Amino acid sequence: MIETKTLSLSEIEDISFRALTAVGTCESNARPLAVATAATEADGVASHGLAYIPIYCEHVTCGKVDGQATPVVSTPRPGVVTVDAATGFAHAAIDAGFDALIPMAKSQGIAALAIHNSYNCGVLGYHTHRLAKAGLLGLGFTNAPASIAPSGGATPVVGTNPFSIAAPGADGPAVLIDQSASTIAKSEVMKHAREGKPIPVGWALDADGNPTTDPNVGLKGSMAPSGGYKGVGVALLTEIMAAAMTGATLGIDASPFSGTAGGPPKTGQFFMAIDPGATSAGAFAQRMEALVGAVKAQDGAHLPGDGRGAARKRAAAEGVAVNVATLEKIEAIIG
């Protein structure tokens, strides 16, 4: 039984902010990450919420992230924003980029944001959600150290690289998809390794590309792509968008997102924001309602993002039960 304590969303934001600034993160970098941490706990994605705050703090301390970085925003074309995250937190870089991206997408009809010299952006769907709340269709891609092998090979070349799409609706995103290219999150395999439990066949492969049930063997091999070669295709799509199209570090060259070795990962994010009114001649909302309606009409059927949306509503009213052991770690950082 894990001991929990219920915190309000503002309490979660506050404790995150105080821990980040305690280790030397400046306020303009700490605030967006603290806000995102509260939103991630609200969405019920505890794996990427407060549990990451001690890791973020460790990475500021060891230099994997520059807590004092100032993102540099440029607009090289009428439809393109680029941000050099300057090895700081991705969240501040994305915030700075969105300030330019959102009005640009509304005037141009479509705009792109390419971020390099960046870091793990947490839950990708948190960011595309913000675009949907601004009335835009948001598409996002983020890359990670390589852990999936190409078809026919056994050595990782791409990360478990998620993509996300958030389609605007009357009350938040009508649909929010945020999915990685692997069968299962790498963190699940790491958890099984820590607990000494075998993993199911189909989660990971050994260094020769063969199935394994040993999580430690899998972690030295590669993560299994979801749906075989089609999962590799989704991972490649994301790597091309988030790394090649931004000039960020490829997954094969990036330092790990965990641990203190290797310096800044310098990975990338790519976002596109599109005004549905411009492309659909006003038909978008009706089509989304019909599509969502066709799913909801089926008993037991659900859409990606439904679970997070329901959790968000509960959290706003009732707060979130968080892990006491994690809280104690964070309080020790605040001192």
Q: Which residues between 223 and 252 bind a second copy (CB under 8 A)?
A: 226-234, 236-237, 239-241, 243-247, 250, 252
- Judged by CB under 8 A, the chain residues 163 through 182 that form the site for a second copy are 163, 165, 167, 175, 177, 179
Q: Does 151 help bind a second copy (rule: CB under 8 A)? A: yes
Q: Give residues with Cβ within 8 angstroms of 256, minimum separation 6.
A: 145, 262, 265
Q: Is 159 helix (H, G, I), strand (E, B) or coil?
A: coil
Q: Does 258 bind a second copy (CB under 8 A)?
A: no
Q: In the complex with a second copy, which residue's Cβ is closer, 59 or 116?
A: 116
Q: How far is the CB of 55 from a second copy (least distance, A)?
A: 26
For 267, other C-beta atoms within 10 Å of its C-beta total 31
Interface pick for a second copy out of 283, 310, 316, 324 (rule CB under 8 A) = 283
* Distances from the Cα of 139 to the Cα of 84, 168, 178, 312, 323, angstroms: 20, 11, 10, 21, 32
Counting Cα atoms < 13 Å in the Cβ hemisphere of 12 gives 32
- HSE-up (13 A, CA, CB side) for residue 76: 9
- Based on the shown chain and the rule CB under 8 A, indicate whether residue 98 belongs to the binding site for a second copy: no
Q: Is 62 in the site for a second copy (CB under 8 A)?
A: no
Question: Which member of 51, 132, 157, 315 binds a second copy (CB under 8 A)?
Answer: 157
Find the shortest distance in angstroms from Cβ 235 to a second copy.
10
Catalytic residue among 8, 188, 255, 258: 188
Inter-residue contact 211 to 205 (CB < 8 Å): yes
Tokens of 101: 């991206």
The structure tokens 């001649």 sit at 281
Tokens 């934001």, residue?
13
82 near a second copy (CB under 8 A): yes
By CB under 8 A, name the one of 195, 290, 317, 335 that touches a second copy. 290
Residue number with CB closer to a second copy (76 or 196):
76
Instruction: Closer to a second copy by CB, 126 or 284: give it.
Output: 284
Residue type, 265: P
Annotation marks residue 48 as catalytic: yes
Catalytic residue numbers?
A: 47-48, 188
